[in-house]
């Protein structure tokens, strides 16, 4: 389980963005390219985790790097996908969410999700939890967000995020980065 993913992470470059260690990986950055067999392997493993939350109405993800994995999961599960965008359209009932990550602050926009739909969130990586927490808090007033699923948990705040949002979170791998070296955790 996760052997190809682990191997690809161990060889991925790491850069610093201020005090934030940023892992450059095809599934998180699309660079240099996304290997379809690795994407499929990850999708199958996430599908196993997600299946325990069936039924639900919709998969949601945030642009950009959640899109490849969420699209494949949408196909595998035959469940519609909504992409939370960084662009404001001004459409009626558009929800604006202010997002803060470990390295930026921006607005996100949700369109097309109906009230009372049950949702699961899928993304490539969770680190500080800023994106997930902002989305969870904005949507829980009108929807049931059943769980969040990530390829990688890159952080130590997962229990704080779960406590704050009251939403279960799952990842395929838990890592940390120290001195530009990846450490794997249970």
Judge if the upstream peptide bond of residue 32 is cis by omega within 30 degrees of 0: yes
Answer yes or no: is pLDDT of 102 > 90.
no
Task: Select the highest-mean-pLDDT range: 18-32, 62-76, 90-104.
Answer: 62-76
Could you tell me the pLDDT band of residue 170, with boundaries at 50, 70 and 90?
very high
By C-alpha distance, which of 72, 60, 57 is closest to 27?
Answer: 72
Nearest to 186 by CA among 176, 177, 128, 178: 176
Is the per-residue pLDDT at 156 higher than 70?
yes
Which is nearest to 66 in space by CA: 29, 35, 99? Answer: 29
Which phi and psi angles does 79 have, rounded to 5°?
A: -125, 135
pLDDT in tens, 2-12: 689 999 999 99
pLDDT tier, 101 (very low <50, low <70, confident <90, very high otherwise): low
Please give the Cα distance from 82 to 61 (Å, whole number).
7
User: Rounded to 10 degrees, what is the CA torsion of 171, 177, 182, 186?
Assistant: -40
What whole-number percentage of the chain has pLDDT above 90? 73
Q: What is the pLDDT of residue 16?
A: 87
Q: What is the pLDDT of residues 108-145, one digit of tens each?
A: 999 999 999 999 999 999 988 999 999 999 998 899 99
List b or e across 118-151, with b for residues whose CB sees 16 or more CB atoms inside 10 angstroms: ebbbbbbbbbbbbbbbbbbebbeeebebbbbbbb
Could you give the domains of the chain? 3-185 (3.40.50.2020)
Residue 50 has pLDDT above 70, yes or no: yes
Q: What is the pLDDT of residue 140?
A: 87
Q: What's the CA gap between 145 and 30, in Å, rounded?
A: 27
What band does 19 get if pLDDT is binned at 50, 70 and 90? confident
Who contacts 111 (Cβ-Cβ below 8 Å, separation ≥6)? 82, 85, 89, 91, 93, 94, 95
């Amino acid at each position: 389980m996760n052997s190809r993913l682990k191997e690809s992470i161990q060889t991925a470059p790491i850069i610093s963005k201020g005090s934030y260690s940023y892992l450059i990986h095809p599934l998180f950055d699309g660079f240099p390219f996304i290997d379809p067999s690795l994407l499929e392997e990850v999708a199958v493993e996430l599908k196993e985790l997600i299946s325990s939350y069936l039924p639900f109405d919709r998969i949601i993800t945030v642009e950009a790097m959640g899109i490849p994995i969420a699209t494949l999961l949408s196909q595998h599960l035959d469940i519609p996908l909504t992409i939370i965008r960084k662009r404001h359209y001004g459409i009626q009932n558009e929800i604006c969410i202010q997002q803060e990550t470990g390295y930026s602050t921006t607005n996100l926009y949700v369109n097309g999700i109906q009230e009372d739909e049950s949702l699961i969130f899928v993304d490539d990586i969770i680190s500080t939890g800023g994106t997930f927490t902002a989305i969870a808090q904005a949507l829980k007033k009108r929807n049931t967000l059943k769980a969040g699923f990530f390829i990688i948990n890159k952080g130590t705040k997962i229990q704080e995020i779960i406590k704050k949002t009251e939403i279960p979170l799952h990842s395929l791998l838990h890592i940390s980065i120290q001195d530009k070296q990846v450490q794997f955790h249970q």
